[in-house]
Every structure is written in C-alpha cells, then in structure tokens.
C-alpha cells in the first residue's frame, strides 16, 4: 500500500511553503551564488539524462491512466468481469466469499495484463538508465510477492466494501471510506514489521563511527536507537534513500545501504536530520488525516460517478447494479481518474511535508553543505531545475534547486554560529 499513490484529494493548504529569499549575512557569502555553484557541479550530460528520466515519468503517469482505462473497458465491455463473477458464484454460495473470490481472480488477471507496462517501467527503463541492480527473475519474484500482499489486503477490503454497498445503498460511500482508511492503517502499522522485510533485509545499523554519529543525532532528537535501521536496497536499485515508516508503535527510520556506502558522514547526517524531521513532526499522522479527508471526498465522487455510469452502461456491461462485485473494475477506473486529476494536490501535500522535514533536518544536523551534496546526488533520478508549474504538479519532494537554496539560505544565516554555541 502506497500512501502517496492513494492520497488523491485535499484542500490546497499545502501551497503555503514559504518562498525563500536569499541575502548575504554580511560575510561575503551569497546564498544565491552558492546555490548556483552547487548546481553547476552536475555535468551537462548527467543533467540531460536525469531530466529525460524524470520528464519521461510525467508521460508514464498518463500512459498508466490510459492503459488502466483500456483494461477496465476490456473487463466491463468485453464481458470479462461478468464472467469472473459467474465463475466465483459457482465456487461458493456465500456472497462475501464470492466477492473475495472475484477480487482474487480480478487482481491476478489485472496483474498479468499490466505486466508488460510494469516490466517496461520497473525493469527495462530502470536498467536503460543504469539505476537497477536487479536481475529479471529476482524482479519477477518481487512482483509476485507484491501481488500476494495486495491480494491479502484488497480481497477482504473489496468484500467489506461490497457488503456495505448491499446493506447501505445510499451511504455506502461513507462506510467505504471508513473501510479503506482502516485497511490503510493496518497496512501502515504492519508494513515495517511484516511487509517491507519480504522485499529487503532490515537490521540494526552496523557498528562504527557512522552508527555512533547517527545514533547521537537520533538521541538528541528523542528518537530511540532501537528505531533506526539499515536495509539492503542495493538488492534492487542504485538509488540512495531513507524513509520513516510505521504507526502506533511500529515507527522506525530506515537508511538504505546505498546511502551509507556512497555518501560522506556529513551527507548521512543531513539525510538523517531530514528523516528525524518526519518523525518529530508526526508526518505519518498528518498524512493519515489528510488521506482520510481525501478518501471521503473520493468515495463521495466515486458514488456519484458510479451511479451514473451503471445506469447508462450497466446492462451492456452485464452488471446487475452497483451491488454487483463485477463493478469493481469500474470503481478502480473511477479512482484512477480521480487520482490522476488530484495528482498536484496529492504531491503538494507530500512535498510540503518534505520541505518541513528539510528545514527540521538543517536545524537538527547543521550540515547545509552535506544536505546540498545529497541533493546533487539525488539529481540522478530527479530533474534538478524544473519550472514552477512542473514542481507544483509533478514533484512529491522539493526540487534539487529548492533544496539546495534552502540549505544555502540556512547556511548564510548561521555563519557565526560556532562562536555562539561555544
Ligand atoms: Zn522525506
């Protein structure tokens, strides 16, 4: 379950990220010039490459939507969905079990049909840009595990939502959003303990000066040592990254091995400061709250659209009404359209939290140059200098330029700190 993908609608509260104006702190250090100097450390070929990679991603979002809609059409107009429903009715007489059986068949078939696109995006393209470490078989096995996890979550969720539709044909959208939120919460709670370890090996940080450094920063910010892990992301990718996951007691910060191997101690401290920021600012709780609002709005819109579409096309698609689980591909199609339209809202909510974590991290780790250096390293897979509209629509993190400028501004305002803290 990916919170980022599910979040689709919310108030535009997140546009408030403060604009940054650079000015020298009377020392000859100019934040704007320093930002430019960092950006210019990226060779033009590398820049062109990451621009192409990242901009290709914009089109892939559209391709994903179109592909999904064609599949939905195949399931509905092509009669595949009604056939799967009939098959599940032959398997068992209990409606809840029928609906679950339908969902399992649908998810397996949909996964097979989207395999070519997934392979292109997740395997071929990653290799073409030199970002993957994974062999084809290993990749396929990860896909299979992902499918099993999604079946485990979605089959009971679908059965629960359709039980709500049958029992409360007018208010099912409210129940449906409640059910979706509960399943998401379960996913976040058990994610770090049961799901992430299916794909990677998580262990406490290896002993050494880096570990001492990281744990010192953690202690200074009230993060217990037992909640900092490292994991072997290099199994799949060359990317450097870190994350905060978990909820209600399973919270943890995880740093990937690429980060630990490929970056300097100052960079690692800068990243750790950022992750601690997510932790300290309760971003998981805030995102969940935003998600709940978005889900309610999404389900309300979905109900409105589903009612109209089924009234108009239901018979042609072999659907017996909204209470028929064979309408599931329609629900997914409606959600993918809403999610697509809501992309800027979703990204802006996440990006704003990321900006907050950047600021927290600069104050906690006090490594503006390490932070700028990491931003440069992240340019491998993110366009560094997008137009403002691009950053607003497509970026779920501040752009590299924004991040470096934030760090240099911070540096400009803290040039005399050493004297003050001693
Ligand atoms: Zn972050």
Would you state the pLDDT for residue 11? 32
Question: In the structure, what pLDDT confidence band is assigned to residue 4 with cuts at 50, 70 and 90?
Answer: very low
Mean pLDDT value across residues 101-117: 96
d(CA 61, CA 71): 15
- Cα 21 to ligand 1 centre (Å): 23
- pLDDT for the residue 22: 42
Distance 203 CA to ligand 1 centre (A): 21
Region of 249 please: left (phi>0), alpha (psi -120 to 50) or beta: left
Q: Using 50, 70 and 90 to split pLDDT, how confident is the model at 16?
A: very low
Contact 255, 230 (CB under 8 A): yes
CB 273 within 8 A of CB 265: no
pLDDT at 180: 94
Query: Considering the domain boundaries, does residue 320 fall inside one?
Result: yes
Ligand 1 geometric centre to CA of 245 (Å): 11
Per-residue pLDDT, averaged over 124-136, amounts to 92
**Model confidence at 220, in pLDDT bands (50, 70, 90)?**
very high
> How far apart are alpha carbons 175 and 30 in whole angstroms?
55
In the reported structure, the alpha carbon of residue 273 is separated from the centroid of ligand 1 by a whole-number distance in angstroms of: 10
User: Ligand 1 centre from 246 Cα, in Å?
Assistant: 14
Q: Looking at beta carbons, which pairs linking 159-166 to residues 24 or more positions away fall under 8 Å?
A: 159/96, 159/97, 159/99, 159/100, 159/103, 162/99, 162/323, 162/325, 163/95, 163/96, 163/99, 165/322, 165/323, 166/95, 166/323
Question: Residue 364 C-alpha to ligand 1 middle, in angstroms?
Answer: 14
The whole-angstrom separation of Cα 7 and Cα 288 is: 9
Q: Are 149 and 186 in contact (CB under 8 A)?
A: no
Ligand 1 centre and the CA of 373: distance in Å?
Answer: 16
Ligand 1 centroid vs 159 CA: distance in angstroms? Answer: 34
CA of 84 to the centre of ligand 1 (A): 41
Mean pLDDT confidence for 21-40: 77
Q: How many other β-carbons are positioned within 10 Å of the β-carbon of residue 315?
A: 11
Contacts of 402 (CB under 8 A, 6+ apart): 20, 355, 391
Amino acid 283: pLDDT:
93
- For position 419, what pLDDT does the model report? 53
Q: What crossing angle do the helices spanning 400-413 and 368-378 adopt, rounded to 10°?
A: 170
Distance CA 160, CA 184 (A): 14
Instruction: Write out pLDDT tens, residues 363-418.
Output: 999 999 999 999 999 888 899 999 999 999 999 999 999 999 999 999 999 988 76
Does 10 reside within a domain? no
Q: Considering the domain boundaries, does residue 387 fall inside one?
A: yes
Specify if 422 maps to a domain: no
CA–centroid distance, residue 189 to ligand 1 (Å): 19
Ligand 1: centre distance to CA 31 (Å): 23
Q: What total of structural domains would you count in the chain?
A: 1
Ligand 1 centroid, distance to 321 Cα (angstroms): 43
* 352 alpha carbon – ligand 1 mean position (Å): 10
Per-residue confidence (pLDDT) for residue 13, from 0 to 100:
32
pLDDT above 70 covers a percentage of the chain that reads 92
Ligand 1 centroid distance, CA of 253 (Å): 11
Residue 252 CA to ligand 1 centre (angstroms): 13
**What is the distance in A from the centroid of ligand 1 to the CA of 353?**
8
Separation of 350 CA from ligand 1 center, angstroms? 9
pLDDT digits (tens, 9 = 90+) for 242-280: 888 888 888 888 899 998 998 999 999 999 999 999 999
Whether pLDDT at 288 is above 90: yes
- Asked if residue 343 belongs to a domain, the reply is yes
Question: Cα(357) to centroid of ligand 1, in Å?
Answer: 6
Instruction: Quote the ligand 1 centre to 123 CA distance (angstroms).
Output: 24
- Tell me the pLDDT tens digit for each residue of 85-102: 999 999 989 999 999 999
Q: Which one, of 92, 113, 112, lies nearest residue 159 by Cα?
A: 92
Tell me: pLDDT of 421 over 80: no
- Are residues 365 and 397 in contact, defined by beta-carbon separation less than 8 angstroms? no
Residue 1 domain-assigned (yes or no) = no
User: Which are the contacts of 374, defined by CB distance < 8 A and separation ≥ 6?
Assistant: 240, 263, 267, 270, 271
Q: Would the pLDDT of 114 be above 60?
A: yes
**Ligand 1 geometric centre to CA of 396 (Å):** 9
What domain range is 193 assigned to?
A: 44-411
Cα of 289 from ligand 1 centre, angstroms = 18
In tens, the pLDDT along 162-184 reads 999 999 989 999 999 999 999 99
CA of 361 relative to ligand 1 center, distance in Å: 10
Q: From ligand 1's centre to the CA of 274, what distance in Å?
A: 6
In which residue are the tokens 């621009």 written? Answer: 51
How far is Cα 271 from Cα 265, in angstroms, rounded to an integer? 10
Q: Is 111:147 a contact under the CB 8 Å cutoff?
A: yes
Residue 233 located in a structural domain: yes
Please report, rounded to a whole number, the percentage of residues in the chain having pLDDT higher than 90.
Answer: 76
Distance CA 409, CA 412 (A): 5
> DSSP 3-state helix, strand, coil percentages of the chain (rounded to 5)?
70, 5, 25
Ligand 1 centroid, distance to 135 Cα (angstroms): 28
Q: How far is the CA of 73 from the centre of ligand 1 (A)?
A: 37
289-294 mean pLDDT: 94
Residue 390 belongs to a domain: yes
Distance between Cα 271 and ligand 1 center (Å): 9
Minimal CA–CA distance to 391: which of 355, 358, 362, 337?
355
For residue 354, how far is its CA from the centre of ligand 1 (angstroms)?
5
pLDDT digits (tens, 9 = 90+) for 309-349: 999 999 999 999 999 999 999 999 999 999 999 999 999 99
CA of residue 347 to ligand 1 center, whole Å: 13
d(CA 78, CA 55): 34
pLDDT of residue 207: 87
Higher pLDDT, 191 or 21: 191
């Amino acid at each position: 379950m990916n919170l980022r993908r599910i979040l689709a609608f919310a108030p535009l509260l997140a546009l408030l990220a403060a604009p940054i104006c650079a000015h020298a702190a009377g020392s000859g250090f100019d934040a704007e010039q320093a930002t430019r100097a960092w950006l210019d450390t990226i060779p033009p070929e590398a820049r062109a490459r990451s621009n192409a990679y990242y901009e290709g991603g914009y089109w892939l979002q559209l391709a994903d939507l179109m592909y999904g809609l064609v599949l939905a059409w195949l399931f509905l107009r092509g009669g595949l969905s009604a056939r799967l429903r009939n098959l599940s009715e032959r398997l068992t007489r209990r409606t809840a079990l029928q609906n679950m059986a339908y969902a399992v068949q649908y998810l397996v078939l949909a996964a097979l049909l989207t395999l070519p696109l997934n392979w292109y995006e997740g395997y071929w393209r990653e290799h073409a840009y030199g970002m993957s470490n994974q062999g084809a078989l290993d990749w396929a096995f990860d896909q299979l595990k992902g499918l099993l996890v999604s079946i485990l979550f979605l089959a009971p969720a679908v059965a629960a939502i359709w039980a709500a539709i049958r029992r409360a044909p007018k208010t099912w959208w409210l129940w449906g959003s409640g059910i979706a939120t509960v399943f998401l919460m379960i996913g976040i709670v058990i994610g770090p303990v049961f799901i992430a370890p299916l794909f990677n090996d998580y262990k406490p940080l290896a002993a050494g000066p880096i570990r001492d450094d990281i744990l010192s920063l953690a202690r200074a910010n009230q993060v217990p040592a037992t909640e900092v892990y490292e994991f072997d992301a290099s199994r799949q990718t060359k990317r450097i990254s870190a994350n905060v996951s978990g909820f209600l007691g399973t919270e943890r910060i995880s740093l990937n091995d690429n980060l630990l191997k490929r970056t300097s101690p100052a960079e690692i401290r800068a990243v750790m400061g950022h992750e601690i920021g997510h932790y300290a600012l309760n971003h998981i709780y805030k995102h969940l709250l935003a998600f709940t609002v978005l889900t309610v709005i999404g389900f309300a819109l979905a109900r409105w659209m589903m009612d109209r579409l089924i009234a108009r096309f239901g018979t042609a698609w072999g659907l017996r009404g909204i209470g028929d689980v064979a309408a599931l591909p329609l629900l997914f199609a409606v959600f993918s359209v809403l999610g697509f339209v809501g992309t800027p809202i979703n990204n802006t909510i996440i990006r704003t939290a990321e900006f907050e974590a950047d600021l927290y991290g600069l104050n906690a780790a006090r490594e503006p140059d390490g932070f700028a250096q990491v931003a440069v390293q992240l340019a491998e897979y993110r366009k560094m200098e997008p137009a403002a509209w691009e950053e607003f629509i497509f970026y779920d993190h501040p752009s590299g330029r924004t991040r470096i400028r934030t760090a240099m501004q911070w540096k400009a305002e803290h040039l005399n700190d050493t004297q003050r803290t001693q």
